[in-house]
Amino acid sequence: MRTTWTGMISFGLVNIPIGVYPATEEHELAFHMLHAKDSGRIKNQRVCTVCEEVVAYDDIVKGYEYQKGSYVEITEEDLEKVHVETSQAVSIVAFVDAAEIDPMFFDKPYYIVPGKSADGPYTLLREALRSTGKVGVAKVVLRSREHLAAIRVSGDALMLDTMHFPHEIREAEGIPAQDNKPAKRELEMAEMLINAMSGKFDPSEYKDTYTDDLEELIKKKVAGEEITTPKAEKEPTNVIDIMAQLKASLEGAKKDGDKRSTGRRAAA
pLDDT per position as a tens digit, 46-89: 999 999 999 998 999 999 999 998 999 988 888 777 655 556 78
Please tell me the predicted confidence (pLDDT) of residue 251: 83
pLDDT at site 236:
57
- Are the C-beta atoms of residues 144 and 160 closer than 8 Å to each other? no
pLDDT of residue 254: 75
Question: Structure pTM?
Answer: 0.73
Question: Can you tell me the distance from the alpha carbon of 225 to that of 6, in angstroms, rounded to the nearest whole number?
Answer: 50
State which residues of the chain have pLDDT below 50.
none
Return the pLDDT at 71: 92
| Alpha-carbon span 189 to 193, nearest angstrom | 6
Over residues 148-168, the pLDDT tens digits come to 999 999 999 999 999 999 999
DSSP the chain: ---SEEEEEEETTEEEEEEEEES----PPP---B-TTT-PBPP---B-TTT--B--GGG--EEEEEETTEEEEE-HHHHHTTTTTTTTEEEEEEEEEGGGS-GGGEEEEEEEEE-TT-HHHHHHHHHHHHHHTEEEEEEEEETTEEEEEEEEEETTEEEEEEE--GGGSPPP-SPPPTT-PPPHHHHHHHHHHHHHT-----GGG---HHHHHHHHHHHHHHTTPPPPPPPPPPPP-S---HHHHHHHHHHHHHHHHHHHHHHHHHH-
Nearest-CA neighbor of 112 among 62, 67, 156?
A: 156
Please provide the distance, in angstroms rounded to a whole number, between the alpha carbons at the two ends of the chain: 38
What confidence score (pLDDT) does residue 47 get? Answer: 92
Helix axes 242-267 and 184-196, enclosed angle (nearest 10): 20
Number of CB atoms found within 10 A of residue 93's CB: 11
Handedness of CA 202, 203, 207, 210 (dihedral sign): positive
Distance, CA of 71 to CA of 65 (rounded, Å): 4
Count of CB atoms situated within 10 Å of the CB of 232: 6
Q: Which residues contact 190 (CB under 8 A, 6 or more apart)?
A: 182, 246
Per-residue pLDDT at 155: 95
For the beta carbon of residue 5, count every other beta carbon within 10 angstroms: 18
**Burial of 222 (C-beta count, 10 Å sphere; 0-12/13-18/19+):** exposed
pLDDT for the residue numbered 206:
83
**CB atoms inside a 10 Å sphere around CB 82:** 13
